[in-house]
A and B are shown apart, each in its own frame.
Chain A
């Protein structure tokens, strides 16, 4: 199944590290701010390694049985349904748990036996103990923000993983990414990156979260389709960052400083 490999521009040596972790059957933890390319990186790596990818976006109601599987009922009675984690194990794929700190605490316990050298998944409801094939890989990600200090990962969980710290790409690289994703001209891509950097500087003070590369890629897409720069920035970036009209107005001053009408 030769699928197209999703584009990914490496920031440093993360591709090599990921490959080495895969060869050594080590689980990987990716941490970094929203929209800096964590998910894209995992998609890229799965395609590159030729493994199926099972992505689970974690939320605060996600429990262990959502990952492992559960019994369901149909006309013929009850039957067992594999969860995404179990499926990834059976098919030798990569299981990616996005924003893992959001999930309920009992899910991390399931991961423990999988992420050390035992590499097993005990399914207590069916009594089955699944051993992970060599191709199976566990990847988790989370966003260690200032506001989420209380919601960090437990050290006992964190120490089982190879850790990759992601950050926003350097300005030149980020402009290249924006050009590659949207075919916008380099001049405007650089202006967008400059805007993103200016907004990131205000992140702790005025904004809850710094704008990611994804937001400026969205704005660039609108601009390529003929949207005015200030409008594109407002709808794709500013309004996504804040619901407070006063802050939005102040943020638009920064936009107007960079994009002349």
Chain B
């Protein structure tokens, strides 16, 4: 009873305090494409992704109802950092959906046109708004509509104290006529958040953390919850003092916290609780050895990439890595660990794939080398009219070779299939299958199909544990026959660690580059974007992978990516180029689609 009354009260005050319009809400996912393209078109960096950003605390004075309801402490604002353009996951601040939609476009434009990024928040936003209004008449009209709505939404200056009112009036004047106000009067509270402006300060870059050996990520085939919102996070050293020292005031966890050591290694809470706790915390302090929490929840933390380590690796199988921050290719940055998979027990094709295999073999036998017409032959089945005319046009010419002949042509093709075996493939792909099962089945059917066409092919898999250990599994080399031993190896693939894509692609490029064929196809099969347990994440990984692929193209290979990541259109065009990838929307379709895709690619 007590609980029900509490719940009813909570709902009531929340509804009264709410200055939002859920009925008119517009989500970021509904206009990712528009906002992203507008951002790039107006001069934004095309290497960065468009992502949802977490709400930030604004610290401004709230109405008494909001205080009562405990709401309105956070505001959804936009910002750009080196990794991504961050826009609110949902906008419902204005009563009309059209205005909420326009706010997204305005924010994307604002992030792209930022002439004074170093200026104070107040001046910087005015300068950016003025630049847009001057250059883009269409956006200027949109801005006028938004300003009217924003001023209507803002708290009444008459109800504030004198300083607060002065501040509020300055902001309104700056909104109405950007660039007209140079100084923001100070007040007891920070100003009420301005939804039309960028977030006052982007998350700070963290000091590098002391390296400790990272533990193996949690295993266990639980379905990770996907959570697209970037959370505010800051790095903190793991505190390893013995004894039960309380590092936080327990009563404050769910309300206001700057630092909390979430010791979740015991895994007592179920995942729903973890997600709720993450939403309630304002800043997630993250210590090195707890990274697995993020992995388990699959939430992305707002961490600036730590500056890299520089120790030199020894060994024979070394690959370089591209560092976009210094725009340089660092030699011998990654060590490839070739894993031969010698101990796999031979096995036959799994029974559930038999029907698909028969169908594919039928389809692929149609791909067998087509007979080619050879012109100007001494004898043949058809007349070569062109040769005949030439013969008559040159009466002196002696050769009477004017027949067409059919001759079988050999397919001259080599294909290397590189499969992502990182731990993220442990996730469920629907229909009771994990991504890794889908990849395994794809490898089986792909091999079955190719053994019909007699095209040369090789199968490799990769995963990585930082740059010193890029694990490269040989499932089938070019010179090995496809038999039960290879099937046994495919059968035993299992997910592990992370996805250092660039190094694996460079290794595959070397192997495929040694093949002598007129067409060489490098097929990458993956479920996500490049990442590893160090600075290899976000933009760093994407730029490195892109460089590795450009290098592959330069030696004459043709890279193509097949992915089951539904968000891949955010970053794959940048890595692979517009037409060189395909997103499989239902992962369970992949095993059947992959061989057909291959047929299209090599036609």
B558 neighbours in A (Cβ, 8 Å)? 150
Please tell me if the beta carbons of A250 and B33 are within 8 angstroms of each other in the complex: yes
Please tell me if the beta carbons of B105 and A253 are within 8 angstroms of each other in the complex: yes
Within 8 A of B (CB), among A115-130: 125-127
Q: Which of B133-141, B180-188, B224-232, B473-481 contacts A (4 or more CB under 8 A)?
A: B133-141
A191 neighbours in B (Cβ, 8 Å)? 137
A82 neighbours in B (Cβ, 8 Å)? none
Q: Does A73 contact B (CB under 8 A)?
A: yes
Please tell me if the beta carbons of B33 and A247 are within 8 angstroms of each other in the complex: yes
Q: Does B393 contact A (CB under 8 A)?
A: yes
Please tell me if the beta carbons of B390 and A150 are within 8 angstroms of each other in the complex: no
Within 8 A of B (CB), among A30-83: 70-73, 77-80
C-beta contact mask, B447-465 vs A, less than 8 Å → 1, else 0?
0000000000000000000
Q: Does B593 contact A (CB under 8 A)?
A: no
Q: Does B19 contact A (CB under 8 A)?
A: no
Please tell me if the beta carbons of B139 and A257 are within 8 angstroms of each other in the complex: yes
Q: Which of A1-9, A204-212, A217-225 contacts B (4 or more CB under 8 A)?
A: A204-212
The CA of A260 and the CA of B46, in the complex, are separated in Å by: 26
B169 neighbours in A (Cβ, 8 Å)? none
Please tell me if the beta carbons of A201 and B579 are within 8 angstroms of each other in the complex: no
Q: Does A258 contact B (CB under 8 A)?
A: yes
Within 8 A of B (CB), among A190-213: 191, 194, 198-199, 201-202, 204-208
Nearest-neighbour CB distance to chain B for A74, whole angstroms, equals 11
The CA of A147 and the CA of B560, in the complex, are separated in Å by: 13
Please tell me if the beta carbons of A258 and B556 are within 8 angstroms of each other in the complex: no
Within 8 A of A (CB), among B122-141: 135-141
Q: Does B119 contact A (CB under 8 A)?
A: no
Q: Does A22 contact B (CB under 8 A)?
A: no
Please tell me if the beta carbons of B553 and A202 are within 8 angstroms of each other in the complex: no
Q: Does A254 contact B (CB under 8 A)?
A: yes
B393 neighbours in A (Cβ, 8 Å)? 71, 78-80, 125
Nearest-neighbour CB distance to chain B for A243, whole angstroms, equals 12
Q: Does A89 contact B (CB under 8 A)?
A: no
Please tell me if the beta carbons of B38 and A257 are within 8 angstroms of each other in the complex: yes
Known: A146-B577, A250-B33, A254-B37. A260 touches B389 (CB 8 A): no
A158 neighbours in B (Cβ, 8 Å)? none
Please tell me if the beta carbons of B574 and A204 are within 8 angstroms of each other in the complex: yes
Within 8 A of A (CB), among B13-54: 33-34, 36-38, 40-43, 46
Nearest-neighbour CB distance to chain A for B128, whole angstroms, equals 14
Q: Does A246 contact B (CB under 8 A)?
A: yes
Q: Does B342 contact A (CB under 8 A)?
A: no
Nearest-neighbour CB distance to chain A for B374, whole angstroms, equals 15
Q: Does A256 contact B (CB under 8 A)?
A: yes
B140 neighbours in A (Cβ, 8 Å)? 260
Please tell me if the beta carbons of B33 and A258 are within 8 angstroms of each other in the complex: no
Please tell me if the beta carbons of B38 and A254 are within 8 angstroms of each other in the complex: yes
B392 neighbours in A (Cβ, 8 Å)? 71, 77-78
C-beta contact mask, A123-162 vs B, less than 8 Å → 1, else 0?
0011100000000000000000011011000000000000
Q: Does B267 contact A (CB under 8 A)?
A: no
B386 neighbours in A (Cβ, 8 Å)? 70
Please tell me if the beta carbons of A249 and B577 are within 8 angstroms of each other in the complex: no
C-beta contact mask, B546-578 vs A, less than 8 Å → 1, else 0?
000000011010100000000000000110011
C-beta contact mask, B356-392 vs A, less than 8 Å → 1, else 0?
0000000000000000000000000000001001101
A208 neighbours in B (Cβ, 8 Å)? 578-579
A259 neighbours in B (Cβ, 8 Å)? 137-138
Please tell me if the beta carbons of B109 and A204 are within 8 angstroms of each other in the complex: no
Please tell me if the beta carbons of A198 and B41 are within 8 angstroms of each other in the complex: yes
Residue of B nearest to A146 (CB): B577
Q: Does A251 contact B (CB under 8 A)?
A: yes
A253 neighbours in B (Cβ, 8 Å)? 34, 37-38, 105
Please tell me if the beta carbons of B105 and A150 are within 8 angstroms of each other in the complex: no
A247 neighbours in B (Cβ, 8 Å)? 33, 37
Known: A125-B390, A206-B573. A257 touches B578 (CB 8 A): no
The CA of A118 and the CA of B109, in the complex, are separated in Å by: 58
Nearest-neighbour CB distance to chain A for B135, whole angstroms, equals 7
The CA of A208 and the CA of B109, in the complex, are separated in Å by: 23
Please tell me if the beta carbons of A250 and B38 are within 8 angstroms of each other in the complex: yes
The CA of A247 and the CA of B32, in the complex, are separated in Å by: 11
Q: Does B394 contact A (CB under 8 A)?
A: yes
- Closest 3 pairs between A and B when the two form their complex, measured CB to CB: A71-B393, A198-B41, A250-B37
Extra 9 A-B pairs, beta carbons < 8 Å, given A125-B390, A125-B393: A70-B389, A71-B393, A125-B394, A194-B136, A247-B33, A250-B36, A250-B38, A254-B38, A257-B38
Which A residues form the contact surface with B (CB < 8 A)?
Answer: 70-73, 77-80, 125-127, 146-147, 149-150, 191, 194, 198-199, 201-202, 204-208, 246-247, 249-251, 253-261
Cross-chain pairs A/B with CB under 8 angstroms, 18 sampled? A147-B578, A194-B136, A201-B40, A202-B40, A204-B577, A205-B46, A205-B573, A206-B37, A206-B573, A249-B33, A250-B33, A254-B37, A256-B138, A257-B109, A257-B138, A258-B136, A258-B137, A258-B138
